[in-house]
Structure 1
Amino acid sequence: MSDAVAAAWANLNDLPRPSLAQLFADPGRVDVLSSRLELPGGAIRFDWSKTHLDAAHLAGFTALAEATGFRRMRGAMFAGEKINVTEDRAVEHAAQRGVGRDSSVEEAAALHARMAGLVAAIHGGALGEVRHLIHIGIGGSALGPALALDALTRDGSVVDVHVVANIDGCALEAAFARCDPATTLIAVASKTFTTTETMTNAASALAWLRENGVDDPYGRVIALTAYPDKAVEWGVDETRVLPFGESVGGRYSLWSSIGFPIALALGWDEFAEFLDGAAAMDRHFLETDGADNLPLRAAFADLTYARLRGCQTRAVFAYDERLRLFPSYLQQLEMESNGKAVKADGRPVDGATAPITWGGVGTDAQHAVFQLLHQGTHVVPVDFIACIAAGDELSPEHHRNLLANCFAQGAALMAGKTSDDPARAYPGDRPSATILCEDLNAATLGALIAFHEHRTFANAVLMEINAFDQFGVELGKEIAKSIGTEGAAFDASTTALLAEAGLA
């Protein structure tokens, strides 16, 4: 840690900690910490006023951002420099949206044109009647497409898409049961085209097609990968391989050909709107400095709780059924990116890094976990996400009650309630932030996801860690592959479990 970074953290740790009630004595607080950003799909309001950020903390974190070289790192990312230092790679998912190094933006546009052409050909009947797509991937190759499809296809889709990630055969069988083999395509999504779970599921999908009368199963496969030669070697015709750049990380890849199922289900125009919404957030993040930069401001709040106040978790509740998969998506984005114990230069970190991200859907979660949030011993920062426009055509009372509950929970967490009966007392002073969209559509969903990508990156820079590697996922995979091989040795518990399951 440099002297300037150490001094910035020392200053932050020494700041007073007023309560939310004290902070709200300032009549201009909401204007300072609540911002409305106009975007292609409609405005989004980002309200961080119910957090413990104040002028002193904003100034302190701005100084930290300067000390850690935030502007330099942000510029380096968009310029295509190799900021993923442990893997010697650039980080160019924003170029997929048209914001970044010119050559990378041009390459992404060319690959998108290739994907758009294949989508149009399929919709036009070039591969015969196509009514279903089974999209096989895992991690970033599945979570992003699953989120977007669940959010955006509730009013129908051109092609019915089923996303399968789990190697548990029950997941793949459930998709088979909903599809007609004669009218089904298989998308195999793997950056390396070697992922064990994905390739095992892909082989079983080919067998299912073959066993159900499809003469050329490989002719029904679309490959989505950064290593097209491996897909061709596996048996996919090169005309049905959709590549993406090696500098696009897996959990940031739904903007690339990994987004093929979104484009196939919705049509290319709507997928383009998805990219445009994210690009608008990219431009805000790139062009705005200090606390006015919304992802950076969110990172200031995140570190207030993770580093300064010792909060080990952060909860996200989507008060919109269409965003029910958003907390799951954020779990990978945040914990795989920032769940690190060493800095980018290999030295140990100086404090807590990523909190545990968890959450659910309102109002369901109110009847399950909000007891702990209001009266438990853990202080948990909460993000609420909601949309002003309803996603249903039922009585307006449904959506009015949904939004009323969302706003009421944030107010209750902050205000609390005194009582002579300790069991009925609420301590209050519990933080929350609210993200309120005018509407939920492809563009606003793209902006929401991009906001959280940049928030994650901003957190990483301020903590001096590399958000773009994920070596922590490898050890378990290596041990799994060794099971059953000669000479493999395990602890007594694992040995007993393997014997009980017949795997020894």
Structure 2
Amino acid sequence: MAGEALVREFLDHAERLAGARIPDLLAADPARAGAMALRVGPVYANFARQRIDAATLATLGGLAGHVRLSLALRALVDGAEVNASEARPALHTALRSGIGRGEVARAAHAEALAARGRMAGLVDGLRASGVTDVINIGIGGSDLGPRLAVDALKDFSDGRFHLHFVSNVDGSEVQHVLRGLDPARTAAILVSKSFGTQETLLNGAAVRDWLGGGERLYAVSANVPAAEAFGVDPARVLPMWDWVGGRYSLWSSVGFAIALAIGMDGFEALLAGAAEMDAHAVEAPLETNLPILHALVAVWNRNALGLPTQAVLPYDQRLARLPDYLQQLVMESLGKSVRSDGRSPGVATVPVVWGGAGTGVQHSFFQALHQGTDVVPADFIGVVRPAHGLRDNHEALLANLLAQAEALGNGHAAEDPQKAYPGNRPSTLFLLDELAPRSLGALLAMYEHSVYAQSVLWGINAFDQWGVELGKRIAGELLPALRGEGEAGDAVTRALINEIRARS
């Protein structure tokens, strides 16, 4: 009954605030801008432009208490079996933090430390080898996390290596990456837990043949025999574990490319920033817990306000890949219509995540954000101290960041309706002191914990991804038909195969 009462109260708040406007909420509470802000280490967040008030927050806190959200976060880091459908823990926090109290978590942390020691040795070996270019070959979490971190932290590179990434099975990508590189000064890392990922093996074979063999091939995998059969010396294979999902894996040996780009000290700082957020997530009370507040606001926007999408808008070009990274983290984790107990959640779950880097996107889709019929909540992300000396540029960038968030929230009246801005469009604004390994680690860990908290509130499993399997299985069945070996697929697919074969 307590849960039903909380849901009714949640819906009552939604009805009460349906007509509330952000400027009125700000005017009614002069302390709101400061009271709805939090700082965790190098990350500051301000929720004052969300369409919630103190009473709403109290009810959301009651929901969090009802599902024992704090205990769920503690269970995650302690190594409980939170991935029920695959009967295993999700121990990505153990890759960077030793706060897990369970035996499983402590053992995982010890394994992670040992793997980092081996990775440091391989980094040193490559630095002494004369290699100048390194190609990371992987897909999904084996690509998105390392690619984001390498791009975001390019100012912390000593320039020893040029990092390149290949993920798409489309041969044009690997062909374009190889163009202009010297095989005698290039190494490649194949990242695949099973060492059976079709895209990675096809691209890896192309690069191996271009290199002239496996002498400068490295791998990150749980399947050492398969990597060895492919031509990778087992001494150059770093481990992966089934207790870390791909989208949570950049903190592991999957981050080998990151360590090559910014050095092991930089990689350790990235982990330290994430560990700082881990400690905050499990120790801070609900009312001052940044990931939990972020999760509660996300659930409010999705279920109380009925908003189906979420924009991620980093105002720093180095974070341009953050929306892509968060698409996988959020949509693969929360893209579920069945609870862990097999029942329907009874409410909408995952929003569609999209976005891009300011100020460029102001000249593409911001028209729709300001005046379109759909309201899109946004996470704005800014950086206070840049890594360059172009002060005028940075002040203009920050002015645009602040202006867009204000304009979306407050709107603007005009006699001409085509020039009016409706406003009342919610956003959260994050500020990083600087974009450095520590702050990036903390920000990404914040999103991880928020996603897990949302999954607990909805009763779904954030750590499986059965929805990606069917298409892959059908693709395997269609390959022979594309080669002219029999027929496969439904009537539409067969017609398309005939068209492709007639013109190839």
Q: TM-score range by the shorter chain?
A: over 0.9
CA distance in structure 2 between the aligned counterparts of 1:108 and 1:7, rounded to whole angstroms: 44
Gaps of 5+ in 2: none
Opposite residue 64 of structure 2, the aligned amino acid is A
Partner-residue secondary structure (3-state), 1:434: strand
The Cα of 1:431 is off from its aligned counterpart by 0.6
Name the structure 2 match of 1:121.
Answer: 125
Q: Does 1:47 align with 2:46?
A: yes
Aligned match of 1:214: none
Give the structure 2 partner of residue 213 of structure 1: none
How far did residue 235 of structure 1 move?
Answer: 2.8
Q: Secondary structure of 1:361's partner?
A: coil
Equivalent residues of 2:94, 2:109 under 8 A apart = yes
For the pair 1:434 / 2:432, whether they are aligned, the reply is no
* 1:78-104 CA distance string (max 9 Å, x none): 111111000111100010002322222
Distance, in Å, in 1 between the alignment partners of 2:180 and 2:269 is 29
Runs of 5+ consecutive residues of structure 1 not aligned to the other structure: 211-216
| 1:56-109 C-alpha deviation (Å, 9 max, x unpaired) | 121111111122221222111111111100011110001000232222211111
- Aligned partner of 2:163 in structure 1 is 161
Paired residue for 2:84?
85
The CA deviation string for residues 190-230 of structure 1, in whole angstroms up to 9 with x for no partner, is 111111101110011111112xxxxxx21211110123233
Q: CA deviation at 1:31?
A: 2.1
| CA–CA distance in structure 2, aligned partners of residues 479 and 403 of structure 1 | 48
Cα deviation for residue 326 of structure 1 reads: 0.5
1:50 maps to a residue whose letter is: R
Moved over 6 A (4+): none
In the aligned structure 2, how far is the partner of 1:253 from the partner of 1:27? 43
1:290 aligns with 2:286: yes
TM-score, normalised by the number of residues in structure 2? 0.94
Other-structure match for 2:3: 5
Given that residues 482 and 488 in structure 1 are in contact (C-alpha distance below 8 angstroms), is that contact kept between their aligned partners in structure 2? no
d(CA) in 1 for partners of 2:225 and 2:76?
Answer: 28
Aligned with 1:186: secondary structure?
Answer: strand
Conserved? CA contact 1:158–1:267, under 8 Å: no
Q: Residue 191 of structure 2 aligns with which residue?
A: 189
Structure 2 matches for 1:6-405, cutoff 5 A? 6-15=4-13, 16-17=16-17, 18-24=20-26, 25-38=28-41, 43-99=42-98, 100=100, 101-123=105-127, 125=128, 128-154=129-155, 156-210=158-212, 217-394=213-390, 396-405=391-400
Following superposition, the deviation at residue 385 of structure 1 comes to: 0.5
Contact 2:217 2:231 in 1 (8 A): no
Answer whether contact 1:317 1:382 (CA < 8 A) is retained: yes
Q: Residue 356 of structure 2: SS of its match in structure 1?
A: strand
For 1:324, the aligned partner's letter is A
Normalising by the residue count of structure 1, what TM-score does the alignment of the two structures yield? 0.94
Taking the aligned partners of 1:226 and 1:311, their CA distance within structure 2 comes to: 40
Equivalents in 1 of 2:86, 2:5: separation in Å? Answer: 30
Q: Which amino acid aligns with 1:319?
A: Y
The size of the alignment, in residue pairs, is 488
Amino acid at match of 1:34: A
- Structure 1 residue 410 displacement after superposition: 0.7
Q: Is the 8 A contact 2:291 2:447 kept in 1?
A: yes
Deviation of residue 393 (structure 1)?
A: 2.8
* Counterpart amino acid of residue 207 in structure 2: A
Does the aligned pair in 2 maintain the 1:158–1:266 contact within 8 Å? no
Question: What secondary structure, in the 3-state scheme, does the structure 2 residue paired with 1:133 have?
Answer: strand
Task: State the Cα distance separating 1:239 from its structure 2 match.
Answer: 0.6
Indicate if the aligned counterparts of 1:135 and 1:186 stay in contact, CA closer than 8 A.
yes
Q: Distance in 2 between matches of 1:438 and 1:455?
A: 21
* Letter of the 1:9 counterpart: V
Q: Give the letter for the 2:24 counterpart.
A: Q
Secondary structure, aligned partner of 1:86? helix
Amino acid at match of 2:152: A
